[in-house]
Amino acid sequence: MSGRASGVGVGLIRKIRSAGRVAEPAGDRGERLPQAAGLAGSVQVRHVDAGSCNGCEIEIGQAFSPVYDIERYGVRLVASPRHADVLTVTGPVTVNMASALRKAYEAMPEPRLVVAIGDCAKDCGVFAGGHGVAGPVSDVVPVDAQVPGCPPEPDAIVAALRGLTGR
């Protein structure tokens, strides 16, 4: 039992050594948003899926993974809109999610920013005209920045959020 347990520990040390640093070198920073100047290098993000196919969620997950490692630029995901400075929204806003999105936005303390991620958030994408679709994100809450793409690459999401932290 103890032999196996120590084996697992040593194996993990070996794995940590052989993996080394997996974070890729930084790409270009996105355009600096003047509204985000007061955040001074610290951005707490709350994410709302307003009706996305989850393609954008996978890419956002990658942006926070060890490879793209957006946390090094001062971006952190938080558990509550009350803690957040930035709301990231994906997908066309469905009828059932419109009021939830509005409530999440209103729960955030001022100053608050919204980043619409993906083509659906921008103009409903392939879902435009669907019977359950209320409209793009900008119809429900004011949008400060957009990341185009279906889905956008993690690099594009990292660049847009770095435009908010300014780092």
Smallest gap, in angstroms, from Cβ of residue 133 to other proteins?
Answer: 28
d(CA 136, CA 101): 12
- Return the CA Rg of the chain: 18
Pairing of the two strands 93-94 and 133-135: antiparallel
* Residues in contact with other proteins by the rule CB under 8 A: 9, 12, 16, 19-23, 38-42, 44, 66, 69, 71-72, 74, 76-80, 82-83, 85, 107-111
| Identity of the residue, 16 or 129, whose beta carbon is nearer to other proteins in the bound complex | 16
| Identity of the residue, 4 or 21, whose beta carbon is nearer to other proteins in the bound complex | 21
| Identity of the residue, 38 or 129, whose beta carbon is nearer to other proteins in the bound complex | 38
| Identity of the residue, 52 or 165, whose beta carbon is nearer to other proteins in the bound complex | 165
d(CA 137, CA 56): 14
Element (H, E) at 35: none
What amino acid occupies position 41? G
Smallest gap, in angstroms, from Cβ of residue 92 to other proteins?
Answer: 25
Per-residue DSSP letter, 104: H
Smallest gap, in angstroms, from Cβ of residue 20 to other proteins?
Answer: 7
Smallest gap, in angstroms, from Cβ of residue 38 to other proteins?
Answer: 7
| Identity of the residue, 13 or 131, whose beta carbon is nearer to other proteins in the bound complex | 13
Smallest gap, in angstroms, from Cβ of residue 2 to other proteins?
Answer: 14
**Cβ 136 vs Cβ 93: under 8 Å:** yes
d(CA 19, CA 34): 39
